[in-house]
Amino acid sequence: MLQAENVNAYYGKLQVLHELSLTITDGERVGIFGHNGAGKTTLLKSLVGDVSQVDGTIHYHQHAILAGQVHLNVRRGIGFVPQGNNVFRELSVEQNLRIAGLMHDTAYAESVYGIFPILKERQLQQAGSLSGGQQQMLALGMALMTRPRILLLDEPTTGLAPIVVKDVLSSVRTINQSEGTTVLIVEQNVQATLQEVERAIVLKAGRVIFDGASKQLLEENNLWHLF
């Protein structure tokens, strides 16, 4: 279980998160939505200890998540895939997975190939020559190599064509269902993501304005107007 209580986050004098509290139960698939600048990335980064000015408390199971301890928090089972290009372009698919899994069992690459068969097909291809969607799947696969119990994904479909967006988002559900990995995903593709997650959290100016079943958000038109 991941629990944040009364979290405030700042960049210098700018306060981005305000008294934010949430609890994520093991095994959940949760989407985090909100306008640009609402604090979604800051929330994910805070949860992995990557924002230096945070107060309030964040716990992952019995561990306090402290700023500046990203590596330790990753070893504790919190995987984080930041927004953007996260693969070693000059290396092959296989080499990328092996590097990501160095601290762990590299044999796990076979399980990753089970989730992303396209990566198995492209095993020896340079990562830089994969399509955008395939590179994103490789980035997810690399995060999986650390055997996370919870995966924090920051806009994994940015820049992808709609058909590929669907593939990447459905792989998130596969990861959750086949590995039991808890998933917290920040996405701008709200409608497509709501189909894949069970629970939605909407942020506005660093505060939670909705936290409930994704189905409810799809059904209640009023909530759309909230963001």
List contacts with ligand ATP (CB under 6 A). Answer: 11, 14, 16, 34, 36-42
From the CB of 83, what's the least distance to ligand ATP, in Å? 7
The strands making up 53-60's β-sheet, listed across from edge to edge, are 14-24, 2-11, 53-60, 63-64
d(CA 23, CA 147): 22
* Residue 198: closest CA among 184, 188, 208: 184
Q: Would you say 7 and 17 are in contact if contact means Cβ atoms under 8 Å apart?
A: yes
For 129-159, the DSSP string reads GS-HHHHHHHHHHHHHTT--SEEEEE-TTTT
Placement of tokens 């291809």 in the chain: 125
CB of 222 to ligand ATP, least distance (A): 22
The smaller minimum CB distance to ligand ATP, of residues 14 and 107, is found at 14
In angstroms, give the least distance from the CB of 24 to ligand ATP: 18
Nearer to ligand ATP, 145 or 217 (CB): 217
Phi, psi at 111, each rounded to 5°:
-65, -40
- Taking the complex as a whole, how short is the minimal distance between the CB of residue 34 and ligand ATP, in angstroms? 5
User: Least CB distance from residue 10 to ligand ATP, whole Å?
Assistant: 9
CB-nearer residue toward ligand ATP: 67 or 115: 67
Are the C-beta atoms of 185 and 47 separated by less than 8 Å?
Answer: no
Choice between 145 and 168, CB closer to ligand ATP: 168
Locate 130 and state its tokens.
Answer: 């994969």
Residue placing its CB nearer to ligand ATP in the complex, 188 or 195: 188
